[in-house]
């Protein structure tokens, strides 16, 4: 199956695709940055609105985290065709994501497998 087909099957919510803007970093920090960047900061004096937006963004990212990291990995893979073994490896890596792990560690595991 090609990676675009696999990516289109994933439930990543409204912000999950933004993981592809990163190549490295602690997953928890990336979640925080994505959530914060997607708040309407023009309402600086209306902290309740910003806090609510931030909380909604955080909840959305955590709700869709496993599929969002899969999406990120498929996006970063340097091949269009994904065989079943590679797909299974990605599924295993993305089961119960540890947000203290780094994105680049996931990429390295995929690259090690491909090589």
Among 66, 68, 109, which residue's Cα sits nearest to residue 89?
109
Q: Please name the helix (run of DSSP H) or strand (run of DSSP E) that holds residue 61, with its range, or none.
A: helix 47-63
Q: How high is the pLDDT of residue 49?
A: 75
Q: How high is the pLDDT of residue 40?
A: 72
DSSP-derived letter for residue 83 is -
pLDDT digits over 1-57, tens only? 888 999 999 999 999 999 999 989 999 999 999 998 888 766 555 667 778 889 999
pTM of the model: 0.78
Q: How high is the pLDDT of residue 44?
A: 57
For 64, phi then psi, to 5°, come to: -110, 20
CA atoms of 54 and 50, how far apart (whole Å): 6
- Which residues constitute the domain of residue 103? 3-114
Query: Under DSSP, is residue 73 helix (H, G, I), strand (E, B) or coil?
Result: helix
Q: How high is the pLDDT of residue 42?
A: 61
Q: Report the 10 Å Cβ neighbour count for 80.
A: 10
Q: How high is the pLDDT of residue 101?
A: 94
- How many domains does one find in the chain? 1
pLDDT level of residue 79 (50, 70, 90 thresholds): confident
pLDDT digits over 50-68, tens only? 788 899 999 999 999 999 9
Buried b (16+ CB within 10 A) or exposed e, 20-58: eebeeeebeebbbebbeebbeeeeeeeeeebeebbeebb
Question: 3-state DSSP helix/strand/coil percent for the chain, to nearest 5?
Answer: 65, 5, 30
């Amino acid at each position: 199956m090609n990676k675009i087909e696999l990516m289109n099957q994933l439930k990543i919510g409204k912000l999950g695709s933004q993981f592809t803007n990163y190549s490295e970093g602690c997953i928890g920090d990336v979640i925080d940055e994505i959530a914060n960047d997607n708040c309407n900061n023009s309402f600086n004096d209306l902290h309740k609105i910003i806090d609510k937006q931030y909380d909604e963004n955080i909840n959305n990212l955590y709700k869709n985290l496993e599929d969002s990291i899969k999406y990120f990995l498929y996006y970063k893979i340097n091949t269009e065709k994904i065989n079943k073994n590679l797909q299974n490896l990605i599924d295993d890596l993305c089961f119960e994501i540890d947000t203290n792990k780094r994105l680049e560690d996931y990429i390295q595991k995929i690259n090690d497998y491909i090589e």
